[in-house]
Structure 1
């Protein structure tokens, strides 16, 4: 995927510090972890209360170090990330940010989406008022927002729906391990062995993955076929780069 592709970043010099904000450094164990919001069934690392963190100081981000030190850490540390089916990730982001009570996302994105794609010129001022009136951003509205070229021109995608490769730069960083959300328990057991931490860390159990093609079809049933195909094009690099099959049941009509 990376060979000969100029659209991907291949050198650290081509990446701004802001683009490295997802890389967490653990100097004690020589580890760099690229987190991709939202890592269900566990919370985003940045949302964990400092009181729950056992280390005396929070782990630094890679972009807090000088460039020569960044290069040295990227060369010598063990680097890993976890990925998820891109469409399931979008469903998760929608459910968490627009179906649950989330005032911030309603103000920053929900009202804008309702105005542009739900024919609501004056949406309620708060998420409580919107819920009371039965006015919600639909999944189809959310997909319309993602597909609108003006969304990306206005500002980069919000991290919860930004493409995974744009957050972790797999053509720049030679990851030692790429885990999948769908096989989280097995992959994490293997990762802890690679890091030689299997005796020090007890990974909490996750819920069973009940995702089926019917689950995807149910969520995308109201999304027109043409929009589904455009959405796949938008996230195609993530599908191909991280080993996810093209969802034919959604795209072939």
Structure 2
């Protein structure tokens, strides 16, 4: 009898851990029913490495050692805030801004606006839904404040192609006329030394002419599409804890989704491929344009559907390395080494804040 009791006791001791584990699992399953679906889904996207957060810490460290960059002003029309979601984003044109706008509209429960409004209407709607901080207002407690950057010089190429040198399509033509009046004709009037044979450039500054304008203009007076990041977003006044890069967006966006719990922030690459380049436009070199070659030797920018041209997709997703290399060569080979270094000085703070290199651009310069 005593032997049987001992065997029963041993059996119970062996079974008891499994009973405890099973009960705990059931209780955990019940608890999960009350967890936000957004948190459940974002957990599956846990990042392998918090590079985007490391950049935020680097930014804070950089600002601590460059106290002169602090202005004491946190209010900016480009820093949009959702107080209920404890979420803030600094909008930088030419860096996936439309993709982020559409993602934030989803977070706010206004996905219908993406279908109902055009690109510009979506941007306007988000400013209304996420008003910027007032002059004396602090960011929400425990908030996620993020920004998206790309290589400053690649953004500059994008801005030149999109705002200065694009004039085909009905919807784009109105924008071109605006930039023609504000920038193109003043730049041409001041910096053009010889008329190019290519008629396309009659009212379009060449890339070297555009760069020369940048070199002689204070960065505070730049248009928002080529204004430096540190001027737009004031990162030494506003604590950004997440900095995403267009070059590593797939990985960085996982970090953002994971720490915010909003899977809607996962930017979908819905726009036309970034590989699409204005054929012929980037191949027009300054030396060719001022040579005696006949204009028929040059191709003209292709006409595109106006709806597609309303928003250029080369800003929505990262370029492949061979594509970005082609852009760098085609544009920066038109500049002298001295011009590239002078341009670097204009954007030096951005290069240092966000850890970008100038090497490839200097290499191709003439």
What's the TM-score once normalised by structure 1's chain length?
0.78
Paired residues in the alignment total: 230
Tell me: CA distance 1:41–1:66, structure 2 relative to 1, closer, same or farther (3 Å): closer
- Aligned residue for 1:78? 144
- Aligned residue for 1:3? 64
Contact 1:37 1:44 in 2 (8 A): no
Structure 1: gaps (5+ residues): 122-129
Q: Name which one, 1 or 2, has greater alpha-carbon Rg.
A: 2
Deviation at 1:181? 0.9
Contact 1:114 1:120 in 2 (8 A): no
- Aligned residue for 2:187? 113
- Aligned residue for 2:315? none
Which is worse superposed, 161-170 or 3-12? 3-12
Which is worse superposed, 88-97 or 24-33? 24-33
What's the TM-score once normalised by structure 2's chain length?
0.56
Say which SS state the counterpart of residue 81 (structure 2) adopts: strand
Contact 1:50 1:58 in 2 (8 A): no
Tell me: CA distance 1:112–1:99, structure 2 relative to 1, closer, same or farther (3 Å): same
- Cα distance in 2 for partners of 1:234, 1:54 equals 33
Structure 2: gaps (5+ residues): 1-61, 103-117, 168-175, 274-317
- Aligned residue for 2:242? 177
Tell me: CA distance 1:201–1:172, structure 2 relative to 1, closer, same or farther (3 Å): closer
- Cα distance in 2 for partners of 1:25, 1:98 equals 31
Tell me: CA distance 1:61–1:251, structure 2 relative to 1, closer, same or farther (3 Å): farther
Deviation at 1:222? 1.3
- Cα distance in 2 for partners of 1:219, 1:252 equals 9
- Cα distance in 1 for partners of 2:360, 2:266 equals 38
- Aligned residue for 2:329? 217
- Cα distance in 2 for partners of 1:96, 1:189 equals 29
Tell me: CA distance 1:79–1:52, structure 2 relative to 1, closer, same or farther (3 Å): closer
Tell me: CA distance 1:223–1:26, structure 2 relative to 1, closer, same or farther (3 Å): same
Aligned partner (choices 29, 39, 43) of residue 85 of structure 2: 29
- Aligned residue for 1:136? 204
- Cα distance in 1 for partners of 2:256, 2:155 equals 22
Q: Deviations over 1:116-149 (max 9, x none)?
A: 011489xxxxxxxx74x7442111011000001x
Aligned partner (choices 116, 128, 132) of residue 62 of structure 1: 132
- Cα distance in 2 for partners of 1:87, 1:52 equals 24
Q: Deviations over 1:142-162 (max 9, x none)?
A: 1000001xx229x62111111
- Aligned residue for 1:126? none
